[in-house]
Structure formats: C-alpha cells, structure tokens
C-alpha cells in the first residue's frame, strides 16, 4: 500500500516493517491497548499530533478524555527521550508504559505509570488529570476521529490512496 507522506491521518508503516519499534515496544503497546480498552478507551497507536510529534498510543474515553501513553522499552530508550514533555499539552492524562522488569525509579513520579506486556497491563500509578482547554480538546477529538476513519478506509480499500492521488493532478 502506498500512503502519501503528506497525509497526517494515514497509518504509520507496520512497526515490524519499518523497525522504528523494538519487539519489546510492540509487545508493551499491545498490552497498553488491551488495558485501555478495559478502561473504556478507544485507541490509535502511532498518533500524529498537530505539532508533528507522534504519540505511541493515544486513547479517547467515552466522555472525551484524552490520554497519551509513551512507551519505553529500555533504560537507553528513556534516557534518549527528551520530547515527552511536549506531549503534556495534548492530553488530559499522560503515562509512561514499560515492561514489568523496567527500573521504574528512573521515571518521573509526576507522570502516570503503566506496566504492560503483550497480554495486558496494569495502571501502577495513576496520572494526574490536567484538563485540556475546550478548543484544543475539540481539535484533538476531530483529528482522532479523522485518523481513525482514514485508517479504516485504507484497510477497507488499499487502492484508495492511489485513486485519491490521481485526482490531485
């Protein structure tokens, strides 16, 4: 499937294809998605924010609460990450998600903490709730809906992108 690079709602390549994520990160992501589902949230992995950053997992509750989960698969992964504070202005709740054997003392205590593996997860430390401004919430919810619809359309019809591009000429 060819996805145009200028489509902000298009899915990222499969993490296993592009190797941007380790197998451990993929397993943690799977467990996080399963956990959030048990809490009534729908999720989009690899969600691109308006600032251009990509949240590992974004969740949306039935009441409109927006959660961002940043996955850390190793100490080196956490140490190399300086971008996570930028996510705070795009969510009501922010969590780090790590494997159960991760040294959690490395993670900031001010953030939520999820322990996860490929089968599920648990919220080890709740996230502080910082409600988004109404305009930002509306924009993020709309972006979430459009991203989900676009990904579903591309799954339903893999040739859709090529046909849409043909009409742009």
Mean pLDDT per 10-residue interval, the chain, length 169 residues:
48 50 94 98 96 96 98 95 95 98 96 98 98 98 95 88 54
Contact 137, 33 (CB under 8 A): no
* Short-list 93, 121, 114, CA closest to 30: 121
Exposure string over 104-114, b if 16+ CB within 10 A, otherwise e: eeebeeebbbb
* pLDDT given for residue 163 in this prediction: 58
* pLDDT given for residue 160 in this prediction: 82
For the record, the structure tokens of 33 come out as 């998605």
For the record, the structure tokens of 123 come out as 């919220």
Tell me, yes or no, if the pTM score tops 0.75.
Answer: yes
* Short-list 14, 83, 92, CA closest to 46: 14
Mind giving me the DSSP string for 91-148? -SEEEEEE-TTS-GGGS-TTSEEEEEETTEEEEEEPPPP-PPPHHHHHHHHHHHHHHH
């Amino acid at each position: 499937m060819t996805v145009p690079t200028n489509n902000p709602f298009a899915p990222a390549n499969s993490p296993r294809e592009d190797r941007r994520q380790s197998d451990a990160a993929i397993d943690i992501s799977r467990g996080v998605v399963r956990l959030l589902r048990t809490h009534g949230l729908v999720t989009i992995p690899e969600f691109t924010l308006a600032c251009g950053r990509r949240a590992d997992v974004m969740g949306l509750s039935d009441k409109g609460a927006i959660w961002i989960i940043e996955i850390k698969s190793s100490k080196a992964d956490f140490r190399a990450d300086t971008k996570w504070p930028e996510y705070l202005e795009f969510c009501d709740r922010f969590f780090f998600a790590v494997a159960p054997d991760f040294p959690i003392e490395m993670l900031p205590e001010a953030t939520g903490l999820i322990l996860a593996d490929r089968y599920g997860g648990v919220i080890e430390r709740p996230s502080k709730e910082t409600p988004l401004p109404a305009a930002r919430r509306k924009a993020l919810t709309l972006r979430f809906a459009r991203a989900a619809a676009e990904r579903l359309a591309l799954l339903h019809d893999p040739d859709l992108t090529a046909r849409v591009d043909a009409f742009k000429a």
